[in-house]
């Protein structure tokens, strides 16, 4: 196991890489903690949860809503959870987003930690303190930014992760490489997904590199005034089509990255779209799809990151180097249209 | 007008005492703000709101619930509120609690300010950044601590405040005097409520003294690890009986202060219960009432301030000096029983 501590504005986050789930009992007293997880994870790991009080959610983004929050709050009241209780989210991004949000508002705030169980959660969703729920078609419309106390990585939890979910997670890994880490981009080009699935040491290095890359970006800009915005690369269009077409997050982000690359080609002179498309395909992700460009533009314009009439688009200058450019809908629409067929 | 700025952990709060409502337009651009208020305040001050986009709530604590939050969020989405929008709560404690909470979670956090319209909100509810909603019988079960950017005091808004609401507010003023300010306790003894209602300068001084007293306690202990807990004087029992008997907050706190004084007499040797009872009655508040002591003890034990099996009770040593004592239910129950008939 490797441990690492990083300080954020009001909180120190401890990272336990290559750890065992059982180590949780050393971090938190079982009698003053409540685990929040979902049915899939619970039924695949029943023995692990035996010593813990556990709230089990229905799995999936469709349940990342206020009704689920209401239900968790009722269960916490019934369990007698108080201000000294620690909540532990064990799951993918939906579980960690809801757990962080409930911990932020129950009795005006409890301590909390995460055990991410998907690649996506390990390298992205569980890091950075953004939490929340969806409201109608608007993803993460309600929530807050609040850091967990700890993140525990037990790679054995990935054994039951379907291949499609591995692929999903690699979209964010490719994103990190594209905006901040040209050497990792090259490393990814040199391997295939199977290598990371088989070689635990190779995987540990990749997870840690991504977790710390994202953590450092967040640490320097927790409240998204500057560099943290770069992490939205591929997400502006990605979010706009994800719910409408019931896409996986990874597929939506992959398509979004290719559109952002196309916009970059026009506005920054970025010239490596083909290289990005090749890597995206190498990890089983889609680079192009047919979608309704007009509808996507509409949703984009109601995104919470919009400020007045400008869309702050994350563009690439070259592999490993991203910039933010405020663009009007009129500047973006023709390129989105061209790439939507 | 007098202005004052105090810095909290992550926010500077500006206070505008003896100001005019119209001054709001100097603080916030009307086209990028949304006022949240209730039907009573809206209909009594229609002209004042003419330039502002306004969300009007049904009045009363019964609406300080998640359904109201859901409705505000829908209206904010429809109004196109974005991350640069400022929310302004104009009203009593219910309005400011909900406004602060929605501002804390909408799009993961907006700027917000308050224009308190009751004595209670001016000296207490709008100060300190505690916000939230009730869940079933549990007051403020969900919420967070987040400071507003500004507080604007326009005493002309008190013209339509019923006498019962003036009395309500003076319960918190007596509380402040009891725990922290023996000189103010004396000042209150020397006057009657009518004096403060008639003499604007006297009122301004009293409001300012209370607002800054509470602000300084909060500033030194924003997250309630120490001194801030003293502000709960009278509230442990107060909260336990307020909802069950549909009492006003002021009446509940007044009764709670007398019970706390009775407990103080046993555990700290406090000897001024009669003086406190006299002042409470002088301002039209009740000192004694018949209530179900057993039920009150039950609710007290599920209060969110409870940590494990101890109730942290705020007691007086003398007028102007409070302490916190962890007591068991068994230590409290006989005294509560004695004072409940």
> Which residue intervals of chain A bear CATH 1.20.1090.10?
169-339
Q: What is the structure's pLDDT at B239?
A: 86
Of the pLDDT bands very low, low, confident and very high (cuts 50, 70, 90), residue B304 is low
Q: Which residue of B has its CA nearest to A132?
A: B108
> Which residue intervals of chain B bear CATH 3.40.50.1970?
2-160
Q: Is the pLDDT of residue B243 over 80?
A: no
Q: Is the pLDDT of residue A233 over 90?
A: yes
**Residue A309 to residue A280: CA distance in whole angstroms:** 31
**Residue B140 to residue B134: CA distance in whole angstroms:** 5
Q: ipTM value, please give it.
A: 0.86
Instruction: State mean pLDDT over A117-137.
Output: 95
Window from B94-108, B136-150, B298-312 with minimum mean pLDDT: B298-312
Instruction: State mean pLDDT over B113-130.
Output: 96
Considering only CB atoms, which chain A residues are within 8 Å of B109? 144-145
Instruction: State mean pLDDT over A230-244.
Output: 90
Q: What is the structure's pLDDT at A57?
A: 98
Q: Is the pLDDT of residue B139 over 90?
A: no
* Beta-carbon pairs below 8 A across chains A and B: 86
In the stretch 39-68 of chain B, residues with CB closer than 8 A to chain A read 66
b/e sequence A265-300, b meaning 16+ C-beta within 10 Å: beebebebbeebbebbeebbbbbebebebeebbebb
Window from A264-268, B55-59, B119-123, B237-241 with minimum mean pLDDT: B237-241
CB contact under 8 A, A107 and B304: yes
Instruction: State mean pLDDT over A203-213.
Output: 96
For β-strands A321-327 and B2-8, DSSP reports them as unpaired
> Chain B contact for A226, CB < 8 A?
no
Which of A10, A108, A305 has the CB atom closest to B144's CB atom?
A108
3-state secondary structure of A337: helix
Of the pLDDT bands very low, low, confident and very high (cuts 50, 70, 90), residue B308 is low
**Residue A131 to residue B109: CA distance in whole angstroms:** 12
Window from A133-147, A194-208, B4-18, B208-222 with minimum mean pLDDT: B4-18
Q: How do residues B322-334 score in pLDDT, each as one tens digit? A: 999 999 999 999 9
In the stretch 229-248 of chain A, residues with CB closer than 8 A to chain B read none
Taking the CA of residue B299 and the nearest CA in chain A, the distance in Å comes to: 12
**Residue B262 to residue A295: CA distance in whole angstroms:** 67
**Residue B124 to residue B54: CA distance in whole angstroms:** 24
What is the DSSP secondary structure assignment for residue B65, as one 8-state letter? S
Which of B82, B306, B307 has the CB atom closest to A304's CB atom?
B82
**Residue B102 to residue B66: CA distance in whole angstroms:** 10
Q: Is the pLDDT of residue B307 over 70?
A: no
For β-strands A138-145 and A130-135, DSSP reports them as antiparallel
Q: What is the structure's pLDDT at B8?
A: 75
Strand ranges for chain A from DSSP E: 2-8, 11-17, 33-38, 53-57, 86-91, 111-116, 130-135, 138-145, 150-152, 311-318, 321-327
For chain A, give the mean pLDDT.
94
Considering only CB atoms, which chain B residues are within 8 Å of A305? 83
Q: Is the pLDDT of residue A78 over 70?
A: yes
3-state helix, strand, coil in chain A (%, to 5): 55, 20, 25
Window from A233-237, B4-8, B79-83, B204-208 with minimum mean pLDDT: B4-8
> Chain B contact for A84, CB < 8 A?
yes
Taking the CA of residue B104 and the nearest CA in chain A, the distance in Å comes to: 7
Identified catalytic residue from A214, A229, A242, A272: A214
pTM: 0.89
Q: What is the structure's pLDDT at A223?
A: 81
Is A222 considered catalytic here?
A: no
Instruction: State mean pLDDT over B241-258.
Output: 91
3-state secondary structure of A85: coil
CATH of B169-339, one of 3.40.50.150, 1.20.1090.10, 3.30.1330.30, 3.40.190.10: 1.20.1090.10
Instruction: State mean pLDDT over B118-127.
Output: 96
Is A53 considered catalytic here?
A: no
Q: What is the structure's pLDDT at B310?
A: 87
Is A330 considered catalytic here?
A: no
Of the pLDDT bands very low, low, confident and very high (cuts 50, 70, 90), residue A305 is low
Q: Please, where are the H alpha helices in B221-328?
A: 235-242, 249-267, 273-282, 293-301
Residues with Cβ within 8 Å of A214's Cβ and at least 6 positions away in sequence, in order, are: A123, A124, A127, A128, A176, A231
> Chain B contact for A148, CB < 8 A?
no
Q: Is the pLDDT of residue B246 over 90?
A: no
Of the pLDDT bands very low, low, confident and very high (cuts 50, 70, 90), residue B15 is very high
What is the DSSP secondary structure assignment for residue B194, as one 8-state letter? H
For β-strands B321-327 and B311-318, DSSP reports them as antiparallel
Taking the CA of residue B137 and the nearest CA in chain A, the distance in Å comes to: 11
3-state secondary structure of B291: coil
Residue scoring higher pLDDT (A181 or A309): A181
CB contact under 8 A, A307 and B84: yes
For chain B, give the mean pLDDT.
94
Of the pLDDT bands very low, low, confident and very high (cuts 50, 70, 90), residue B272 is very high
Q: Is the pLDDT of residue A14 over 70?
A: yes
Cβ proximity of B84 and B32 under 8 Å: yes
Q: How much of chain B, in percent, has pLDDT values that exceed 70?
A: 98
Q: What is the structure's pLDDT at A2?
A: 81
Instruction: State mean pLDDT over B182-206.
Output: 97
Token pair listed for B182: 């023996």
Instruction: State mean pLDDT over A244-250.
Output: 89
Token pair listed for B73: 């969020």
What's the sign of the alpha-carbon dihedral A305, A307, A311, A315? negative
**Residue A116 to residue A129: CA distance in whole angstroms:** 13
Is A249 considered catalytic here?
A: yes
Q: How do residues B105-116 score in pLDDT, each as one tens digit? A: 999 999 999 999
Q: Is the pLDDT of residue A288 over 90?
A: yes
- Determine the CATH number of domain B2-160: 3.40.50.1970
Q: Is the pLDDT of residue A303 over 70?
A: no
> Chain B contact for A106, CB < 8 A?
yes
Q: Is the pLDDT of residue B137 over 90?
A: no
What are the CA-CA distances from residue B150 to residues A197, A223, B73, B87 (Å)? 53, 20, 22, 11
Instruction: State mean pLDDT over A119-123.
Output: 97
Considering only CB atoms, which chain B residues are within 8 Å of A79? none
Q: Which residue of A has its CA nearest to B72?
A: A142
Question: To probe the interface with B, which of A105, A129, A301, A310 has the most B CB atoms within 10 Å?
Answer: A105
């Amino acid at each position: 196991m490797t441990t690492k501590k990083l300080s954020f504005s009001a909180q120190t986050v401890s990272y336990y890489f290559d750890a065992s789930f059982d180590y949780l009992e050393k971090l938190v007293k079982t009698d003053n903690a409540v685990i929040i997880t979902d049915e899939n994870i619970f039924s695949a790991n029943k023995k692990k949860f035996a010593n813990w009080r556990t709230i089990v959610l229905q799995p999936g983004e469709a349940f990342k809503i206020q009704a689920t929050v209401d239900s968790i709050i009722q269960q916490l009241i019934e369990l007698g959870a108080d201000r000294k209780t620690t909540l532990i989210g064990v799951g993918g991004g939906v579980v960690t987003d809801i757990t962080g949000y409930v911990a932020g508002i129950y009795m005006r705030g409890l301590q909390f930690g995460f055990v991410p169980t998907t690649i996506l959660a390990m390298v992205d969703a569980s890091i950075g303190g953004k939490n929340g729920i969806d409201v109608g078609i608007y993803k993460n419309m309600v929530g807050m930014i609040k850091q967990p106390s700890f993140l525990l990585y037990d790679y054995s939890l990935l054994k039951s992760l379907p291949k499609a979910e591995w692929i999903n997670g690699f979209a964010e890994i490719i994103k990190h490489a594209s905006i901040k880490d040209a050497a990792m981009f090259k490393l990814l080009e040199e391997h295939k997904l199977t290598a990371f699935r088989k070689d635990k040491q190779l995987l540990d290095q990749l997870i840690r590199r991504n977790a710390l890359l994202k953590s450092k970006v967040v640490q320097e800009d927790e409240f998204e005034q500057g560099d943290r915005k770069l992490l939205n690369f591929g997400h502006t269009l990605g979010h706009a089509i994800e719910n409408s077409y019931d896409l996986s997050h990874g597929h939506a982000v992959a398509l979004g990255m290719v559109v952002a690359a196309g916009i970059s080609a026009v506005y920054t002179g970025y010239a490596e779209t083909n290289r990005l498309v090749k890597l995206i395909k190498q990890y089983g992700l889609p680079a192009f799809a047919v979608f309704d460009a007009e509808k996507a533009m509409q949703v984009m314009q109601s995104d919470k990151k919009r400020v007045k009439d400008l869309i702050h688009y994350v563009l690439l200058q070259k592999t490993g180097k991203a910039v933010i450019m405020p663009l009007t809908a009129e500047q973006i629409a023709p390129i989105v249209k061209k790439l939507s067929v």
